[in-house]
Amino acid sequence: MSDISRSTDPKIIAIANQKGGVGKTTTAINLAAALVEQGHRVLVIDLDPQGNASTGFGIEATERTYTTYDLLLDEAPLSDVIQATSMEGLGIVPATVDLSSADIELISNEKRSFLLHDALRQVAMDQYVWDYILIDCPPSLNILTVNAMVAAHSVLVPLQSEFFALEGLSQLMLTIREIRQSANPGLRIEGIVLTMYDRRNNLSQQVEQDARDNLGDLVFQTVIPRNVRVSEAPSFAMPVLSYDPKSLGAEAYRALAAELVRNNSAVAA
């Protein structure tokens, strides 16, 4: 199916946090939209059985004939699983609840942790010329998340600005370290992005200070504010950058995309 010895041109980023409700899918959708707005070609891999990223880009359940399940377990061709979105230059591999059975079905597969890695490195991927591939992981550290981390160059971690936020990072960091020591030595942490941030709230400021004190430069300078427009946008099946381009949330995701691109340019240099 693939040539695992070849390098891949797109920058592959897994967006992961084993805790739900931290803005993971929201970040995947809006970061992708912001990167496209800034001239990059982006593919989103919806690896969450809930399929919220797919819904957020307006892909109806009835339109998800081929999904990440087919890509991983049935080796479906990329031409079947990649769907266009309403944004030019942004594609998605959608997900359905079928993906929830992947853990059980992959138990006996010797290459179960490398399926997504191999799928994203097929020669057929070259025709799409993606600049970034963003993987929206499920809110758990299961075989799907492991697949994402084995496939990715880096992991971006959304961190909700709430009490005990940092404590929940320990298991995720341990998993990243284990993946680095075994299946993907080059895996790095892209950064920690603070989400649902309320500048009027002392708790948000304290969480930010604790995160910067403990994690230093791993924390993005950009923070994503708690913004009603960001919350409303998914119900209209569009990124907040399309729903309300001038909102604080849209501006924050543009700033995050610009910071991410700058950071990657500095690493490459």
The per-residue pLDDT for range 162-210, each reduced to its tens digit, is 877 777 788 899 999 999 999 999 999 999 999 999 988 888 898 899 8
Is residue 245 in a domain? yes
CATH number for the domain harbouring residue 61: 3.40.50.300
Is residue 167 in a domain? yes
For residue 269, what pLDDT band results from cuts at 50, 70 and 90? low
Is residue 115 in a domain? yes
For residue 2, what pLDDT band results from cuts at 50, 70 and 90? very low
Is residue 176 in a domain? yes
Long-range residue pairs from 173-182, CB within 8 A, at least 24 positions apart, any chain: 175/141, 175/145, 175/146, 175/149, 176/149, 179/146, 179/149, 179/150
Count of all residues that appear for the chain in the document: 269
Domains: count for the chain: 1
Percent of the chain with pLDDT over 90: 72
Residue-range definition of the domain harbouring residue 220: 11-268
Is residue 107 in a domain? yes
Confidence (pLDDT) at 60: 92
The reported pTM is: 0.93
Is residue 4 in a domain? no
Is residue 2 in a domain? no
Mention every residue, 6+ apart, whose C-beta is less than 8 A from residue 24. Answer: 15, 16, 17, 136, 137, 139, 158
